[in-house]
Structure 1
């Protein structure tokens, strides 16, 4: 007969992790890893890289877990660590984040048909985001998905707020162009 361990709340697991219980770390990892892998996948170039980011992130989580004060959700706290871990990983392993502050005055964004944008599924949009260059992808993810301000992004990435804004603008333009291309392909197939 197999015994199942009782499911513990996140707060119980956090307390047990602070006390150094390895089994609690394993349970916490199993509960949060699928969501956090999704966070890492948005920054990574492939699944293996995302898994490395995830592992590095959880090492930090367990190393800093005693610092968690209970302000806000624990999952949100872990998510921020994962984002920072992903950025740190990219800095170490890629010659990236060469951010250019483009002049937005001549930057006219294409208009996207609302129907085309609404027919796009979340997984399709995430795939389009993955095609952005690393710098654009990082700024877009930090701002549009993870909710960081341009000021926070500037500090995280070591760039100016203006560079963050221009990177976001360019990323949006590229994504809109890609959505328009997808929409025209769908129209061609339907017609």
Structure 2
């Protein structure tokens, strides 16, 4: 029990930040973190020391958050990809926008769940669309579509913010 307490105190902060990235709100992130530690402690025997222990815990947190998402959200397929603007039109140059990182993270948190998850997995965690499709149980096309829509929403929010700043 003392070892579990030490593991918790050592990793809870980082894992909570990760959990928050994949959760709808603070409360859901707390639930994901708690569930993740329960899973990790119950499956500690499965850790094989092949990678970092922290990496193993992070994978549990991501998988737990994705599982909660799948349980709470009905599958939403996107079939009409022609209406999505070209990829070049929705790339976001964060350096050019001069927006603080914390504000950008707030904007990402405001995305609808399905867009936020794909955006985080692809852009922040470098998963491929094939990997994302498997994790979220969607098609690769839906993953690409959700990423494009997330970028478009973020681009519009940034433009709105910049417009308000210029008019202030």
Q: Same fold (TM over 0.5)?
A: yes
Match of 1:56 among 35, 39, 63: 35
Greater C-alpha radius of gyration? 1
Superposition deviation, residue 187 in structure 1: 1.4
Q: TM-score, normalised by structure 2?
A: 0.89
Q: Is the 8 A contact 2:16 2:30 kept in 1?
A: yes
- TM-score under structure 1 length normalisation: 0.79
- Partner of 1:98, secondary structure, is coil
Backbone CA RMSD of aligned residues: 1.9
SS at match of 2:43: helix
Counterpart position of 2:160: 181
1:78 aligns with one of 42, 57, 66: 57
State the shift of 1:101 in Å: 3.9
Q: Deviations over 1:138-174 (max 9, x none)?
A: 1111111122111111111111111111111111111
- Separation in 1, partners of 2:48, 2:38: 18
State the partner residue of 2:3.
Answer: 24
Query: How many equivalent residue pairs?
Result: 166
1:98 aligned to 2:76? yes
Q: Secondary structure at the match of 2:108?
A: helix
Unaligned runs of 5+ in 2: none
Tell me the residue number matched to 2:112.
133
After superposition, the C-alpha distances for 1:52-98 in whole angstroms (9 at most, x for unaligned) are: 01011111111222222222222122111101101111222x23442
